[in-house]
Amino acid sequence: MPIKKLIEVALPLEKINEQAAREKSIRHGHPSTLHLWWARRPLAAARAVIWASLVDDPSSHPEQFPTEEEQEKERKRLFNILERLVVWENSNDEDILAESKAEIMKSTGGNPPALLDPFAGGGAIPLEAQRLGLEAHAHDLNPVAVMINKAMIEIPPRFAGKPPVNPDDRGKFGMNTYKGAAGLAADVKYYGELMKKKAFEKIGHLYPEVKDENGVPHTVIAWIWARTVKCPNPACGCQMPLVKSFDLSTKKNHEYHADYSVKGNKLIFKAEQGKSNKTGTIGRKGATCPVCDSPVDFPYIRNCGQEGKMSAQLMAIVAEGGNGRIYLSPNEIHENCANVEKPDEVPNAALPYNPRNFNTPNYGLTGFADLFTNRQLTTLTSFSDLLTDIAEQVTKDTLATGTPDDNIPLEDGGSGALAYAQAVCVYLAFVIDKLSDYNSSSCSWHSSGEKLRNTFGRQAIPMVWDYTEANPFCNSTGSYNNMLEWVVKCVTNFKSPAQGYVRQFDAQSDCELRNIMISTDPPYYDNISYADLSDFFYVWLRNSLKTIYPKVFRTMLVPKTEELVATQYRFDSAETARSFFESGMLSACKQMYIYARDDIPVTIYYAYKQSETDEESSQTASTGWETMLSAIINAGFSITGTWPMRTEMATRTIGMGTNALASSIVLVCRKRPQDASQITRRNFINELKRELRPALKKLQSSNIAPVDLAQSAIGPGMGVFSKYKAVLEADGTPMSVRAALAVINSELDIFFNEQDGELDRESRFCVDLFTQKGFDTIDFGTADTLARAKNTSVNKIAATGALYAQKGEVHLVDRKDLPEKPNESMTWLFTQQLTYAMEKGGIDASAEVAAKALTGLQQAKDLIYRLYQLCERKGWTNEAYAYNNLIVSWNDIIQKANDLKNAGLVEDDDQQKFDGI
C-alpha cells in the first residue's frame, strides 16, 4: 500500500482558494504579465498541489503519530507551512521556501523527483515545481507556449547570479549582489531602452505631438479611428463612419464626446465636452447612415470590406494633459502621419476559418497583417528588425566583461557571450509581442476607464469598428515603456537556481522520461482554440527569433493537426471532433502512466463544464468531464481524490449573475493495481452510498461553493468506480463512465432529498412548492393538498410571512417582502432572510441576521446547497447565483456574526458561538 500524501487526505482549501482568487488582481512582476496566455493556472494553486502531492500525510506514519489527535496536530503544522507558502508575497521568501523544501526532502528520502507537465501552456506548474527545488520539465506542442516556458524556467537559471554587462550598470555593485536573474533583468531594461531610442530615431516622426487650441503641445496617447463605408443610398453617398458610441470619456466630471458636422459626402469630427446626444451608427442588427438615416445591413458592410472598399477616418485624438486625459479634434497633420506605405516585408499568414473566435475575415481582413494599420506594421517591424543590432551590441559588451565566447547558440545550451545576447533578445521579442497586443486595429477605447483595451480582451479577435491606435512612444497604456517594464519586473522575480528543461513535444508521443512526477493542466475539450489564437503572436515571435530558435520556429504557423482540442470546424462533424479528442487524450494519459512514479500521485486539472442531455436516460452529462475521466481510468489510473481550486474572483464579468464554474477541479490519481478485481453494479451502488455521503458532508463543511459541489462529488464517486478493473452491468458488460456519472448524480440527488427530511414541516412544504413553481402562483386547493401531505397547513405557513395565500391564490413570498425579524425556527424563512441580506447588504448585513441565530445556521446552510442544486437543474441562473454567493462568503459571515455577538451588539441573552458551522 503506497504512502498517502497530504493531497489525498486533507488540504487548507479555503486559504489556497483565497490566494488563487486574489492572484488574479496581482500584476507587477507576476509571470502572467511576461506574455499573454489563455486559461493560466494560478501559481498559488499549482504550488499547493505540487507540495501537497510530495509531502506525506501524518496518517501514513502511525509509528510517529499513533493517535488521530496527534495526526491532526501534525496536519495543522503542515497546513501552516502551506498557508504561508501560497501567499504571493512569499513566492521568493527564502526562509519559507527552505522550510517547504525541507518537508519535501523528508517525505522523499532526500531524493525528490523531477516533474513533467506534458501540457505546459502558460508554465505555472513547471515554474512552481522549479521554485520548490524540483527539476522541471515543460513540454508543449505550441511554440508560443514553448517560448514562454523557456523564458521562465530554462533561460533564467542558465544565467543566474550573472551581473549585468551593459556599460551603465557594469561595475556599479559587487559581483554577488545580483541574485537570480536580476542581472539579466537589468540588461533587458538597458538594451530595451536602447532599442526604443534607435526605433524613435527611425520612426518617431510618425508619432508627433498635438497642439491644443492654445497652441500648447501635448504627447499623444492614442488616436481613435472609425471604419467607414459608402452609404448605399445613391442620393446620399456619404462616407459613413461605423461607430458604436460617440462618447470618448464617460468618467464623471470629465465627459467628452466626438461631435460631427457634414461637409460634402464626409463627416467632420470635433471633440467636445459633455456626453453625446447622438447614438452610435452601428449595432447588432446593422448600421444607420448618420446623414440620411438609411438602414445599412451587415451583408452590404461585409461586401464593402471584402471588396477593399472599407476605409477609416480619424475621429479624435487623446493626449496627456496636466490633470488627466484631454480630447482633441482631428487635424490634417495627424491624419497624414498615419498615411504611410505598408512595409515591404511583414509577418503574415491567412487567418483561420474559425467563426467562433475570428470575425474579421467576414469583412475582408483575412490575414494577420490585415489586423494592423500600416503605421502599426511599420512600427512593429522596425522594432523587430532592430533585434539584430541589439544582439551585436550585447555580444560586444558581454565580451568586454571577460565572458568567453563559446559560439554555442542559446538553443543548443550555450551560456557564453553569443547565448547571453540571444537571451536578452528573447525577452525583447516578448516586449514586441506584448506591443502587438496593444497596437492592432482590434484594440478599442475604454471610455469609462479612459484607457486602451488590448486585442485579446477575451479569447477571440472580434471586428472592432471604432478602433484605437496607441502611441508606442508615450508613457500610457499600450506604450513600449509599459511593455518593457512588465517584462523586466517578471525577469527580476525569476530567482530559482534549479535548471528547467523545455521541449516542443506532442503529449501523445513517448518523451522517454521515466519514474517522474506528473502534474498537468490539459486542454478543455473545445473550450479554447490555443493554436489559432496564438498564431497572432507566433508570426511576430517567428519574425524576431527564427534565427535564434530555428527548430522551434521551423513552421510558418503554430502546428494545428496534432493539437488536442475538439475544435469542430477542423472536422467533418462534432462526432469526429469528439472521437479525435477522446483517442488523443487516452494516448496522452497512457504516456503519463508510463512516466509516473508509483509512490507519488498524478494530478490533473480540469475546469470544463459542458452539459448535454442523454435522450435515452434523460440524464445530464458533461462531455469534457466524461472524456477526461474515461481517458484517465482507461489508461490505468484510479482517482483517489478531487479538490476544487477556486481560481476566479466573484466579481469577474462572466461570473456576475451566472453560475459559471469558477474552479479547476484537481483530480488526484494513482496507478491502479494490475490485479484489481471486478464488481457488480449492485455492489458498486452499495459501496458508493457508504463512501459518498460522508464525503459530501465533508465537502459541505469545508464551504465548497455549491457550483462546484456536483463536480467535486465525482471524486469520491469515481474513486469507488475507478479502483476496480470493471463494474459489471446486469448483462455482464462493463459499465461506461457516462453510466457511472449518472449513478453518482442520482446518489447526489438522493443525498439532498434525504436532507429535506431533517427540515421542519413548513420548510419541507416551501421546498416542494419552490421545486414545482418557484415563486409563481398556484391555486389554493393544490397548495392545501401539498401542505396536508406535510402535516401542516397553508394558513399556518402564511402566518409566518413566508407564504401569500389570498383570494384562492398561493405563492412563496419574494425575499424582499419577507418579515425583517429573523425566524430560525422555520429554516426556509431564515434561509431566505439570510439570502436577501447578502443580496442587498453583503457580508455585514448577512452577519447581522446570522448573529441572532442560536441553532438554525447548520440547517440553513444545508438547505442553501439543496436550493442551489434545484435552481441549477431548472436553469434559474440568478436564483442559483444568490445561493452560491452566500456559501462562498459563509465563513466571513460567521466570523463577522461572532464579532457582533462578542461585542454585545446583538440583542440576545445567549452569547453562544457557532464557529464550527
The three-state (H, E, C) secondary structure of 400-447, written as one string: HCCCCCCCCCHHHCCCCHHHHHHHHHHHHHHHHHHHHHCCCCCCEEEC
Residue-wise pLDDT for 289-299, tens only, equals 999 999 999 99
Please give the Cα distance from 651 to 291 (Å, whole number).
41
Backbone angles phi, psi at 150, to 5 degrees: -60, -40
Q: Are 162 and 178 in contact (CB under 8 A)?
A: yes
Residue-wise pLDDT for 551-601, tens only, equals 999 999 999 999 988 888 888 888 898 899 999 999 999 999 999 999 999
Is 222 in a helix, a strand, or coil? Answer: strand
Q: Are 832 and 802 in contact (CB under 8 A)?
A: yes
Please give the Cα distance from 366 to 34 (Å, whole number).
28
Residues 261-299: b if buried by 16+ CB within 10 A, e if exposed? eeeeebbebebbeebbeeebbbeeeebbbbbeebebeee
> Chain-wide mean pLDDT for the chain?
90
Per-residue pLDDT, averaged over 804-810, amounts to 93
Query: How distant, in Å, are the alpha carbons of 303, 348, 390, 597, 794 from that of 284?
Result: 17, 30, 47, 55, 49
Per-residue pLDDT, averaged over 113-118, amounts to 98
Alpha-helical (H) ranges within 3-142 are 13-23, 43-54, 68-85, 94-107, 124-131
Note the pLDDT of residue 480: 98
Higher pLDDT, 791 or 757: 791
Higher pLDDT, 780 or 758: 780
Per-residue pLDDT, averaged over 703-731, amounts to 86
Whether 872 has a pLDDT exceeding 90, the answer reads no
Whether 783 has a pLDDT exceeding 70, the answer reads yes
Note the pLDDT of residue 915: 39
DSSP string, 664-717: EEEEEEEEPPTT--EEEHHHHHHHHHHHHHHHHHHHHHTT--HHHHHHHTHHHH
Q: Are 377 and 346 in contact (CB under 8 A)?
A: yes
Q: Are strands 115-117 and 136-140 parallel, antiparallel or unpaired?
A: parallel
Per-residue pLDDT, averaged over 608-632, amounts to 60
Q: How far is CA 484 from the centre of its chain?
A: 24
Note the pLDDT of residue 491: 97
Q: Are 861 and 887 in contact (CB under 8 A)?
A: yes
Q: Are 663 and 644 in contact (CB under 8 A)?
A: yes
Per-residue pLDDT, averaged over 190-206, amounts to 98
Note the pLDDT of residue 656: 33
Whether 173 has a pLDDT exceeding 70, the answer reads no
Whether 137 has a pLDDT exceeding 60, the answer reads yes
Alpha-helical (H) ranges within 108-237 are 124-131, 143-149, 155-158, 182-203
Residue-wise pLDDT for 817-834, tens only, equals 999 888 888 999 999 999
Residue-wise pLDDT for 199-235, tens only, equals 999 999 999 999 999 999 999 999 999 999 999 999 9
pLDDT band at 873 (very low <50, low <70, confident <90, very high): confident
Whether 902 has a pLDDT exceeding 90, the answer reads no
Nearest C-alpha neighbor of 459 from the set 314, 375, 354 = 354
Note the pLDDT of residue 1: 66
Note the pLDDT of residue 174: 54
C-alpha cell at 680: 457488480
pLDDT above 70 coverage of the chain, percent: 94
Please give the Cα distance from 345 to 605 (Å, whole number).
42
Q: Please give the model's pTM, rounded to 2 decimal places.
A: 0.88
Per-residue pLDDT, averaged over 740-764, amounts to 85
DSSP state of 793: -
Q: Are 319 and 329 in contact (CB under 8 A)?
A: no
